[in-house]
């Protein structure tokens, strides 16, 4: 029996190694052409359901808590089924072809494609201070370099401040850690002061929303034409948490109306967003309707796939496992396929599991693995049922 099992594993491993992207594409083409009501024999012919050029793809990040990008960490991604990865890009701006090539080399050694890099390092641009033009030139040069090395998406934030002080952990299923948010909660660091009333920090002065809108308009009108020419799409992540006021600053990416306004600043697929079905629900919107609006305009350039339960829109909610929140995750996945979305889907925000607590060097890997497995099951179910 043991020898039979070893032989089976050996044969299965050889089969997996022999499968190519072309095979994945062929499998996907068969799926798309098959009848959803086919016989069981026809359905069996559809498997395995794989990613290909006509589908979105699963991506996993290398979280900051993982520290250095190591072969061990990248093998963990690959074993989870992620052939794509995204993470923070090189800190030094501007990026260059050589700096990005060096950065991507460990990923490529494990046959993982870098599909999205987060760009940071332009605070003067956000606050409209002296020095922003130099920062913008660095971003423009970085976009050109990203295009030359084949990175399709560059993600960014435009926070005056991110009100993370409202987060706290609560016990969930089996004692797993759920992430709660309460804008009106009393700060544990400043007794008697609600999170919503915390004062500005010295580094991040209070900003009015129209100031921020003027600053992001200045930024986008400068960089989006460069991104277009470079063949790169930018993806702005909405405010998460979507607090109305964050340390005295009004937030400009806190509502669906704000997201629509952003997309109107420069009419281009390169001026896009990260669609987050969790944030969309947290602000009191139907995530499928938000998705339809953005996807119809080809403005979804990255996807965050997670679930939550909302008590008070924008100010009080709970992040859950992907299978026990109020977001219909199947419908979200199905809508992505309907609109022919072809970029990354990241099953983010893992719950805090006992295993990960006792294996801190794994950097939440068990939690990420659960989310990834769930997302891939939704991916396969949508294709199997014909979307």
Domain limits for position 281: 49-384
**The pLDDT value given to residue 169:** 97
Which pLDDT tens digit goes with each residue over 315-365?
999 999 999 999 999 999 999 999 999 999 999 999 999 999 999 999 999
CB 103 within 8 A of CB 76: no
Residue 132 in any domain: the answer is yes
pTM for the full predicted model: 0.89
**The pLDDT value given to residue 387:** 82
**The pLDDT value given to residue 217:** 98
Residue 41 in any domain: the answer is no
Residue 82 in any domain: the answer is yes
Residue 2 in any domain: the answer is no
**The pLDDT value given to residue 64:** 84
**The pLDDT value given to residue 67:** 84
Q: How many domains does the chain have?
A: 1
Residue 197 in any domain: the answer is yes
Give the side-chain half-sphere CA count within 13 A for 36: 8
Can you give the CATH number for the domain in which 359 is found? 3.20.20.150
Residues linked to residue 312 through DSSP beta bridges, in sequence order: 316
Query: Alpha-carbon distance 90 to 96, whole Å?
Result: 10
Q: At what angle do helices 365-384 and 21-33 cross, to 10 degrees?
A: 40
Residue 181 in any domain: the answer is yes
Residue 276 in any domain: the answer is yes
Query: Alpha-carbon distance 230 to 344, whole Å?
Result: 19
Which pLDDT tens digit goes with each residue over 269-300?
999 999 999 999 999 999 999 999 999 999 99
The pairing of strands 233-236 and 177-182 is: unpaired
Residue 97 backbone phi and psi in degrees, to 5 = -55, -45
Residue 377 in any domain: the answer is yes
CA distance to 77, 233, 339, per residue, from 300 (Å): 24, 9, 10
**The pLDDT value given to residue 68:** 86
Low-confidence ranges of the chain (pLDDT < 50): 1-42, 44-45
Residues linked to residue 92 through DSSP beta bridges, in sequence order: none
Scored b (16 or more CB within 10 A) or e, 258-270 reads bbeebbebbebbb
Cα 68 off chain centre by: 20
Closest among 330, 354, 315 to 173, alpha carbons compared = 354
The pairing of strands 245-246 and 249-250 is: antiparallel
């Amino acid at each position: 029996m043991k020898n039979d099992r070893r032989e089976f594993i050996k044969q299965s491993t050889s089969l997996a190694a022999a499968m190519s992207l072309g095979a994945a594409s062929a499998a996907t083409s068969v799926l798309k052409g098959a009848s959803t009501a086919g016989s069981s024999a026809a359905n069996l012919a559809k498997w395995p359901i794989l990613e290909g050029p006509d589908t979105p793809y699963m991506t996993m990040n290398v979280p900051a808590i993982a520290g250095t990008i190591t072969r061990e960490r990248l093998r963990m991604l690959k074993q989870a089924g992620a052939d794509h990865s995204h993470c923070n890009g090189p800190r030094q701006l501007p990026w260059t072809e050589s700096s990005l090539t060096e950065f991507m080399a460990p990923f490529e050694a494990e046959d993982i494609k870098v599909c999205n890099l987060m760009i940071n390092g332009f605070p003067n641009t956000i606050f409209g201070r002296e020095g922003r033009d130099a920062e913008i030139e660095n971003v423009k040069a970085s976009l050109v370099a990203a295009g030359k090395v084949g990175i399709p998406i560059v993600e960014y934030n435009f926070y005056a401040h991110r009100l993370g002080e409202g987060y706290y952990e609560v016990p969930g299923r089996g004692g797993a850690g759920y992430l709660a948010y309460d804008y009106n909660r009393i700060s544990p660091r400043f007794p008697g002061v609600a999170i919503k009333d915390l004062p500005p920090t010295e580094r991040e002065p209070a900003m009015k929303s129209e100031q921020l809108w003027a600053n992001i308009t200045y930024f986008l009108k400068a960089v989006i034409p460069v991104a277009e020419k470079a063949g790169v799409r930018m993806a702005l992540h909405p405010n998460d948490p979507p607090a109305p006021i964050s340390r005295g600053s009004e937030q400009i990416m806190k509502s669906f109306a704000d997201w629509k306004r952003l997309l109107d600043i420069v009419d281009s697929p390169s001026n896009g967003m990260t669609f987050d079905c969790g944030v969309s629900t947290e602000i009191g919107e139907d995530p499928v309707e938000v998705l339809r609006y953005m996807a119809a305009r080809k403005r979804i350039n990255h996807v965050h796939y997670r679930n939550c339960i909302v008590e008070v829109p924008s100010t009080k909610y709970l992040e859950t496992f992907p299978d026990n929140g109020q977001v219909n995750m199947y419908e979200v996945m199905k809508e992505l396929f309907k609109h022919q979305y072809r970029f990354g889907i990241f099953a983010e925000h893992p719950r805090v599991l006992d295993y990960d607590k006792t294996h801190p060097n794994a950097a939440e890997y068990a939690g990420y693995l659960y989310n990834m497995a769930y997302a891939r099951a939704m991916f396969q179910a949508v294709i199997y049922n014909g979307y």
